[in-house]
Every structure is written in C-alpha cells, then in structure tokens.
A and B are shown apart, each in its own frame.
Chain A
Amino acid sequence: MSKLKLNQVDTRGRSCPEPVLLTKKALEKNPEGVQVIADNTTARDNITRFARNLGYKVEMVQQGADYILTLTR
C-alpha cells in the first residue's frame, strides 16, 4: 500500500451520491489517481463504475467492513 504515493479520500458514512462526488473532486485535484475508502456496497460499486467510465483502473481490497479502492491511470 505504501508503494503507491496516493492521496486518500474517506467517504465512510456519506450517503448517495456524495461518495462519487467526493471521488470526482479528489480526482480533479489528483488526476494521477487516488485511494478511496467506502463503507457500503452501493458506494463501492458507484465509485468503481464512475472511475472506470473515466478510464481509471480500479483495485478493490476489503478491510473489515470497509472497501479500499485504488484508482489509477
């Protein structure tokens, strides 16, 4: 995880559509990629779809109840 120097954005506790909106803002600031933490499957899937639509690669790891999505070019 520490190999990649990526910024993180925490969307936990946020309801639809805020997780995607936060991801969008984060990617505007860091076009090379970001790491997103989500705490529900809806947010996880929406962020994944959004990022793929923009041409990002999405890697997902589950940690406890949270999902860690790594979005890279």
Chain B
Amino acid sequence: MVLGNAGNYGLCIACFIRDTVGALGFHRAAVVQYIRPEIIGIVLGAFFMAVAGKEYSARGGSSPFARFVLGFLVIVGALMFLGCPLRMILRLAGGDLNAIFGILGFATGIGTGIIFLNNGFSLKRTYSLSSFEGYLFPLVCTGILLLLITRPGFIFFSESGPGASHAPIVISLAAGLVVGVLAQKTRLCMVGGLRDLFMFKDWHLLSGFLAILVAALAANLAFGTFNLGFTGQPIAHSDGLWNFLGMALAGLGSVLLGGCPLRQLILSAEGNIDSVITVLGMAAGAATAHNFGLAASAEGPTANGKIAVLLGLLVVAAIGYFNMDRSFELNMKGDVKIEA
C-alpha cells in the first residue's frame, strides 16, 4: 500500500482476482482492471515451496462443479463486503470499524457451515491425477504474468481508480512470492482459524490470523495510516447489514470449500485441481459481480447485489444440505493390515 497499491488494499485475494479478470477483459469495470502480480507470485511461491517440500501432489475429482459454484458465490459475498477474509483483517487493522460487521458475519457463516460438517457434509473424495495436470495452473499463471510484462493491446489497464494504483511489478511479484512461500508452509487460512477454534478448540490456525492483525496494526500505526472509524474508509461502505451478510456468504461458502480464497490459491499451486476449479469459479464470480452490477462500491451495496447475496446464501445452503451424508458410518476395520 505504501508502495502504491490502493488504500487498505494490502493483499485482497477477491479484489486482485477481480482486477485480473478485468484486465483480461472478462468484465468492463474500467476502474478495476490490472493483472495483479501478487496473485501470480503467491501461486508460484507456493508451487516452488510445495515441490521443494515434496508436498506437491496432483489430485482432483471432489465435486468439481459444486466447488466452482461455491467459489463463485464466495466472491459475490466478498465483493458485497469489498474484501476477502484477508482484507477484512487488514481493514480492521487500518481502523475500519465496518470490518467488525464483516467479521461477525464471517463467524456466523463459519458457525453455520460447521453444522453442515458435523452432519456429514462432504464434497467426497479426491483422486490422484498425472503430475502434469497440476503443472498447468502455475503455467497458466506464468502466461498471465507474461501478458502483464508485454502489455499487448487486448489487455485492459485501469487509468484511474483502484486498478490504477499499484506497486511496481517486481515488488508486487516479490511480495506475492514471499506470501506464497509463507502461506504454503504455515497453511495459513482465514476460515480455518475460526473453524478449528469452533470445532476442535484448536487455536493453531487462528494464531496466524491474529498475527496478521497485530503486524498490520503495528505497521499502520508506524506509517500513520491508522484511521479509526466507520466513515471515510478506503474502498469500503458502511452498510452494516450487508457487510454482515456478504461475509456470512463468504464464510459459509469457504467453510464448505475447506478454505478461504488465499488457501484455495495455495492449494491450487500444490496440485489440487479442485481448488483450481474453485479459483476459476471465483474468477467467474468476480467478472459476473461487475457485469451484473452485484459488487458494492464506496457508495454502498446495489439492489442487484443484495438479491445476489440472498440467492447465494440459499444456493450455498442447498449445496450444504444435499451433500450431507446422514447414513454416514465410519468405515472402520479392526486390525487389518494396510497395503502400501
């Protein structure tokens, strides 16, 4: 942000995916079009880290279309609030009190998702795929990076608005690489933190979440960019109800997916094709949110956006309900030797 990115933008996965699909021309909201090197850096950093740590493994086949739809709706919810769960924390750290409604909604969504999980919700198992299947996503990201560097005429770049404020490519890419490496190693997940605390009384993942809050708060205080209040916050609106409902949708969708948008990017880089499909769903959701006028802006939510969030909550609840396996019994074997 200090280096030129938009205010309290920090690192917002939802916003950056939205900017990137805009640059590729999938939506024509002229103020939010820029290929964000941070996203590409995160994917490549996580990919190299996973390969080096022998954690790379191509797999997929776990309800791909349900994941696409969930990814789509998570972004519709996030763009109502104007930020992914990660930016929600960064906004709070910047003094934006609207984020509190977002967090309450997010926690409510996660709590609701846990009810589905505890009742046997599952998107069913994944299967091993050829290694090359998993290389395709990092390759595509590298291709998009080349489009940013070569700037061919068919790529859109915002001339004003949030899409026009960005740090130099090299710095953004390097920042993304660092985040990718760290997030892969720590398995940082915004939704996992609250989920594990609620479900298993486990603080492990939430500690990452809190560390980001404290570090960002300290940085904002140090740079004098801390601004406590509800109004006049960068790229935010102060409609509490819709901030709550937007993040409730994002939280519920994310918990059913097993991870927040950042975590989906990391998993995609590790060879998880289900997460690649989720990221494509998020990209489609971001494009549609702008094409249909669903995304909120600093002026507040739109009528279309409100309808979309309510419909989204219904659809996610239906996906949750119809994937609950009530007859689920543990498939346990007593004292059986395991074949390698």
28 A-B residue pairings within 8 Å (CB atoms):
A2-B337, A5-B335, A7-B333, A7-B334, A8-B336, A8-B338, A9-B330, A10-B331, A13-B126, A14-B125, A15-B258, A15-B274, A17-B196, A18-B122, A21-B117, A21-B118, A21-B199, A29-B330, A29-B332, A30-B332, A34-B332, A40-B57, A42-B55, A49-B202, A49-B204, A50-B200, A63-B338, A63-B340
Interface centre among B201, B337, B340 (most CB of A within 10 A): B340
Quick one: given A22-B330, A64-B340, are A53 and B117 in contact (CB under 8 Å)? no
Which of chain B's residues 120-141 have a Cβ closer than 8 Å to chain A?
Answer: 122-123, 125-127
Which of chain B's residues 193-208 have a Cβ closer than 8 Å to chain A?
Answer: 195-196, 199-202, 204
- Complex CA–CA separation, A41 to B125 (angstroms): 16
**B338 and A12 form a contact (CB under 8 A):** no
Tally of contacts, chain A with chain B, CB under 8 A: 85
**A24 and B200 form a contact (CB under 8 A):** yes
**A14 and B338 form a contact (CB under 8 A):** no
**A37 and B338 form a contact (CB under 8 A):** yes
Residues of A within 8 A of B59 (CB): 13
**A6 and B335 form a contact (CB under 8 A):** yes
Given contacts A20-B199, A22-B330, A66-B340, 8 further A-B contacts (CB under 8 A): A13-B59, A15-B274, A16-B258, A26-B332, A42-B55, A45-B187, A63-B338, A63-B340
7 A-B pairs closest in CB distance: A13-B125, A64-B340, A63-B340, A16-B258, A7-B332, A15-B258, A8-B333
Residues of A within 8 A of B126 (CB): 13-15
Query: Is the C-beta of B77 less than 8 angstroms from some C-beta in chain A?
Result: no
Query: Is the C-beta of B288 less than 8 angstroms from some C-beta in chain A?
Result: no
- Complex CA–CA separation, A58 to B97 (angstroms): 43
- Complex CA–CA separation, A28 to B332 (angstroms): 13
Query: Is the C-beta of A57 less than 8 angstroms from some C-beta in chain B?
Result: no
Residues of A within 8 A of B118 (CB): 21
Chain B contacts to A: CB under 8 angstroms: 53, 55, 57, 59, 62, 117-118, 122-123, 125-127, 187, 192, 195-196, 199-202, 204, 258-259, 272, 274, 330-338, 340
**A53 and B332 form a contact (CB under 8 A):** no
For A1, give the chain B residue with the smallest CB separation: B337
Residues of B within 8 A of A73 (CB): none
- Complex CA–CA separation, A22 to B117 (angstroms): 11
**B55 and A41 form a contact (CB under 8 A):** yes
- Complex CA–CA separation, A66 to B339 (angstroms): 10
**B332 and A9 form a contact (CB under 8 A):** yes
